[in-house]
Structures are given as structure tokens and as C-alpha cells.
């Protein structure tokens, strides 16, 4: 299949945080069998691929992002037989399966690191990043951990520091070592051989560090309400030029198998993000575009973000959009419950591959977590400034049963207090619910292929009205989104807005003819269709 017709270009991705999706064995933690049990929900929703946050063997210092065995399934989530059953069930149901690859660091309990710290002469020593102390005995440089404190941990047995961009229990691998690269590429081949359809690569821009380990410069824009690691700019500890060679090698491994996808997690400015598509588009198929995660929720800001992103794309590169993930506050809390419906229409009508975060389809909000119940190591290390990620990782709200139908035990994180009415069962029965809006938007996207493959054309608008067109295959769809609480009326004569409403965010205007004026209620969006 040529890339222009690849499934991931027209598909819709859905991220599952396995700990919080469905518990099947009564321990209060979600698992693989639970995911299998809930696949019908995803099929009804209409998504095309599921991405699982890590399920590999792990001490769970960072809830699976500290891997002790890259080719093992943690017993908390099940067995390899369970995983094989999930691959088969997903594929039988028409769903692709994407795994979270975490190649930047391992657990400090991984056999590679246990061997590496035995002595300076161990063959695995250079698999990690070790440096002698500074002249004063302190850390080798000023690099900071994203989870607080120095990024260097002193090892008393061997008298050197090792580098960890995140927790001290997550030592960074040395990606300048060819043996490390070969080992991770073989891990990729192992899972691709088992039928997974690709990888989302965690913190891919961190993989290569400055060879001279120079101090990072101070951040002139830092203020005390931000995480401490932002005091310095990561000029030398991430996004080094040599990282693109690694990304190209990962892409080559993925390309050994048919119809697979490589997705990169990259939090970088736009111009640097674009480089991860690689030379001649030989890098990541989809460097994640997180612009909407922190966008001011105003029409002109979003219009500019979309325009800048579209203009920056290299020729032939394919865009993508994300509204939420396991690290950022829930979209319904960022923009409000009513605007969450408008945000859903935005996500599913922009040009490019959309990714949904579990629970966003039912409007799950950011859940306040009491200090005594905090599980996130980031919040524990850097308390008091709101960096905790637990609030966006709470259990999926399936029904009004105890613990939202997620578990029969005490859940690992508290369930949101609105679960008795905001849940899949209730919202399925409500014909105008946000869940049924998501289903309708996905059906519309698949019925009108122009939403998946057509061009994007902005339309001039004022105030908090966002207008754009999707054109192709003899069809023009106009999307009108009111990002304000107040109603707005737009003259359609000569504007190209005339046509028939195919969908409203309130699911009550289908088939309405627009000719003369388009009236939008506050917090309403519509898709208008007409022939080209």
C-alpha cells in the first residue's frame, strides 16, 4: 500500500490507559482481558485503531513507563496469551493495535541496568549514560529531571553518576551505543511479528544527548509556578541533530513489515517538530501534534494554530491532531462541558489523523485528587503547582453500578463523583449526548470521505466564530464553530455557506436548509454540506 492510501491517514486512533479501562480480575486495576471485554464499545464508537499505554513487565514506579522486560507482559495486566487474544479480537473486530514503546529509558530493575551497575567494566556499562562527578563531587552538569531535582543519580558502588531524564528509577539508555539500538530494534520486531500494527514512541526527542554534556542554558521566561525543570532550556539534553538518524532507523524497522505506523511523542516548537517527519519523509509517519492541548480556546488563536501547522508541513507529510492524553488535563475541564462538544467537532473535521483519549467521548472531566490519594510520582516530587496527572487517568465510567462498572474492588484511583449519570450506558440512551455526538461525527467522517482526505481551506470570520472548509471528491463541507456562549448569525449570501446541515453539535438540526443566514446558538457547531 502506498503511503497516500495508508490506513493510518484515514483512521481514527483511540488511546487506552490500561490501568483505568476495565478490571476483569477484581484487583482494582484494569487489564488486558478487561480491554477485550470492552472492544464492542470501541467498535460501536467507530474508531479504527487503539493505542495502549505500556503493559510490559514493570515495577510500576511510573506506572509502566519504567520497563523491566520489553518482551514480557506484566502480571498486573495479564499474560502473553491474553495479549495474543487481544490482538486477535481487535483484528477480528476491524481494529488496529498500537503499542507504547519506551526506548529512552528502562527500569532500574531491568537486567541490563542491574548488570551495568555491577562494575565500570561490565559489558552493559555503556548501555547507559555514566559520568564522573564534577570537581566538587556533585553532578556532572546542570541537567534537571522532568520529575524534579537533578537528572543525575550517584551510584556509590561504582563512584559515578547515571543520567535519568525522569525518575531515578528510570535510567536513560545510551542511544549512541549501536548495541542499544540493535536491542530495541529487535524488541520492535518481536511485537511486530506478533501482529501489532505499529508503535507510539515515548519521548522520542530525548533519545540522543549532547556528546560533550554541556550545561543547559537558563530559561529567561521561567517563573516559579512552573515545574522546576523548566528553569533551564533542554538545549543539550534533548532534540539533538543525531536523533533523526535513530528515528529513520526505527522507521526502517517498521517498514520491514506491511502497513505499520510509527508515531512519535514530541513536545517541541513547530519548526522543530516538523523535522521528525525525517528526510524525504523517512522519519515518523505521525509526529504527534499537541498544539490543541494548550491552545487558548479562542477562534482566532485556533485559526492561527491550524494555519501555522498546515503551512509548516513538509510536502507530502500528513497532519494529525490530539485533544487529550494521559499526561494533560481533560479537554472537558479545559474548555467546559458545552465547548467539549465543539472541540469534538473540531478534532474530527480538521484535516489529518485524529486521536481520542479514553473517556473524552463521554465528557469525562479532570478529577480532583486528595493529597492522601495521589499516585503520580510527578505530583509527589513536585507538589503544589498542579502538575499531577492522576486526574486525567481515573477509571472509565461504564455504568451507574458501583465504581462505575470498572471494578468490583477498590479502584486504584478514585472514580469521578458524577459517574452515576455520566457513563456509557446512560449516555448511549440519551440521543443528544456527547457520546452520541462522537458516534455521529465518526459516522459522518466515514460517510463523507472528504473529511478524511479533502483539502483544508480557512474562511474569514470574526469574534469567536471559527469557519473552514473541507473540499474534495466533488463535495464541499463547511464547518462553523461558535466558541462563545452567545448566539451568532452569519449572512450566507455570497459566502459559500449555503447548503444543508449534516450535523449539529446538539444533534437536532440534521437536514436543515441554510440559505440567507446561518444562526448558531452559543457553544454550537455545525457541518454544512453541498456539491462542489
The set of residues, in sequence order, having a beta carbon less than 8 Å from that of 359 and lying 6+ positions away, is 330, 396, 397
Closest CA to 342 of 495, 493, 488, 514: 488
Report the C-alpha gap between 232 and 221 in whole angstroms.
10
Closest CA to 299 of 484, 37, 87: 484
Dihedrals phi, psi of 88, to nearest 5 degrees: -65, -45
Q: In Å, what is the CA distance from 421 to each residue of 21, 401, 403?
A: 18, 10, 12
Closest CA to 98 of 236, 191, 218, 185: 191
Q: Considering 256, 280, 430, 485, which one is annotated as catalytic?
A: 256
Report the C-alpha gap between 26 and 81 in whole angstroms.
19
Report the C-alpha gap between 227 and 234 in whole angstroms.
13
- Alpha carbon 342 to its chain centroid, in Å, reads 20
Closest CA to 530 of 509, 519, 514: 514
Cβ(243)–Cβ(176) below 8 Å: no
Report the C-alpha gap between 434 and 45 in whole angstroms.
12
Question: Burial code of 444-460, b = ≥16 C-beta within 10 A, e = fewer?
Answer: bbeebebbbebebeebe
Closest CA to 394 of 360, 366, 420, 422: 366
Does residue 146 have an active-site annotation?
A: no
Does residue 3 have an active-site annotation?
A: no
Q: Considering 23, 48, 100, 202, which one is annotated as catalytic?
A: 202
Report the C-alpha gap between 184 and 189 in whole angstroms.
9
Closest CA to 424 of 371, 358, 377: 358
Residues comprising the chain, all counted: 532
Question: Burial code of 246-269, b = ≥16 C-beta within 10 A, e = fewer?
Answer: bbebbbebbeeeeebbbbbbbebe
Distance between first and last Cα of the chain: 29
**Burial (CB count <10 Å: 0-12, 13-18, 19+), residue 527:** buried
Report the C-alpha gap between 76 and 121 in whole angstroms.
35
Q: In Å, what is the CA distance from 138 to each residue of 134, 153, 404, 472?
A: 5, 10, 50, 61
The set of residues, in sequence order, having a beta carbon less than 8 Å from that of 229 and lying 6+ positions away, is 144, 145, 146, 147, 148
What are the residue ranges of helices labelled H in 230-269? 243-254
Report the C-alpha gap between 113 and 409 in whole angstroms.
35
Active-site positions? 202, 256
Amino acid at each position: 500500500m502506498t503511503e497516500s492510501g495508508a490506513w493510518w491517514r484515514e483512521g481514527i486512533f483511540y488511546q487506552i490507559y490500561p490501568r483505568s479501562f476495565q478490571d476483569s480480575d477484581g484487583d482494582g486495576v484494569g487489564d488486558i482481558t478487561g480491554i477485550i471485554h470492552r472492544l464492542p464499545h470501541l467498535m460501536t464508537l467507530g474508531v479504527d485503531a487503539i493505542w495502549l499505554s505500556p503493559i510490559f513487565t514493570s515495577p510500576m514506579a511510573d506506572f509502566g513507563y519504567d520497563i523491566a522486560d520489553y518482551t514480557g507482559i506484566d502480571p498486573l495486566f495479564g499474560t502473553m496469551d491474553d495479549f495474543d487474544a487481544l490482538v486477535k479480537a481487535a483484528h477480528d473486530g476491524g481494529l488496529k493495535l498500537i503499542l507504547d514503546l519506551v526506548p529512552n529509558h528502562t527500569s532500574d530493575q531491568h537486567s541490563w541496568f542491574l548488570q551495568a551497575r555491577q562494575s565500570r567494566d561490565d559489558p552493559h556499562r555503556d548501555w547507559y549514560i555514566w559520568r564522573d562527578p564534577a570537581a566538587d563531587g556533585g553532578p556532572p552538569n546542570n541537567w534537571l529531571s522532568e520529575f524534579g531535582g537533578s537528572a543525575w543519580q550517584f551510584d556509590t558502588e561504582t563512584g559515578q553518576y547515571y543520567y535519568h531524564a525522569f525518575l531515578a528509577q528510570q535510567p536513560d539508555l545510551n542511544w549512541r551505543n549501536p548495541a542499544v539500538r540493535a536491542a530495541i530494534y529487535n524488541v520492535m520486531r518481536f511485537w511486530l511479528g506478533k501482529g501489532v500494527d505499529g508503535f507510539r514512541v515515548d519521548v522520542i526527542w530525548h533519545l540522543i544527548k549532547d556528546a560533550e554534556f554541556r550545561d543547559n542554558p537558563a530559561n529567561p521566561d521561567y517563573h516559579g509556578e512552573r515545574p522546576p525543570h523548566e528553569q533551564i532550556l533542554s538545549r543539550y539534553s534533548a532534540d539533538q541533530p543525531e536523533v533523526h538518524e535513530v528515528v529513520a532507523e526505527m522507521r526502517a524497522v517498521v517498514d520491514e513489515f506491511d502497513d505499520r505506523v510509527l508515531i512519535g511523542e514530541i513536545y517541541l516548537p513547530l519548526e522543530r517538530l516538523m523535522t521528525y517527519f525525517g528526510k524525504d519523509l523517512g522519519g515518523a509517519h505521525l509526529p504527534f501534534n499537541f498544539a490543541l492541548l494548550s491552545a487558548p480556546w479562542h477562534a482566532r488563536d485556533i485559526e492561527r494554530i491550524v494555519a501555522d501547522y498546515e503551512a509548516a508541513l513538509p510536502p507530502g507529510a500528513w497532519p494529525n491532531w490530539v485533544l487529550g492524553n494521559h499526561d494533560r488535563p481533560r479537554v472537558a475541564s479545559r474548555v467546559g462541558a458545552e465547548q467539549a462538544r465543539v472541540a469534538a467537532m473540531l478534532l474530527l473535521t480538521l484535516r489529518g489523523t485524529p486521536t481520542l483519549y479514553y473517556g473524552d467521548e463521554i465528557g469525562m472531566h479532570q478529577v480532583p485528587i486528595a493529597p492522601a490519594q495521589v499516585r503520580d510520582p510527578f505530583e509527589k516530587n513536585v507538589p503544589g503547582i498542579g502538575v499531577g496527572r492522576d486526574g486525567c487517568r481515573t477509571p472509565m465510567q461504564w455504568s451507574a453500578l458501583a465504581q462505575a462498572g470498572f471494578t468490583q474492588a477498590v479502584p486504584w484511583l478514585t472514580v469521578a463523583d458524577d459517574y452515576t449519570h455520566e457513563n456509557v450506558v446512560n449516555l448511549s440512551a440519551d440521543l443528544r449526548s456527547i457520546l452520541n455526538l462522537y458516534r455521529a461525527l465518526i459516522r459522518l467522517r466515514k460517510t463523507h470521505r472528504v473529511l478524511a482526505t479533502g483539502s483544508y481551506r480557512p474562511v474569514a470570520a470574526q469574534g469567536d466564530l471559527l469557519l473552514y472548509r473541507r473540499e474534495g471528491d466533488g463535495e464541499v463541507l463547511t464547518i462553523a464553530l461558535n466558541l462563545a456562549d452567545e448566539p451568532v448569525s452569519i449572512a450566507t449570501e455570497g459566502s459559500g455557506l449555503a447548503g444543508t446541515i449534516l450535523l449539529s453539535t446538539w444533534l437536532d438540526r440534521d437536514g436543515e436548509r441554510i440559505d440567507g443566514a446561518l444562526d448558531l446558538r452559543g457553544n454550537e457547531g455545525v457541518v454544512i454540506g453541498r456539491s462542489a
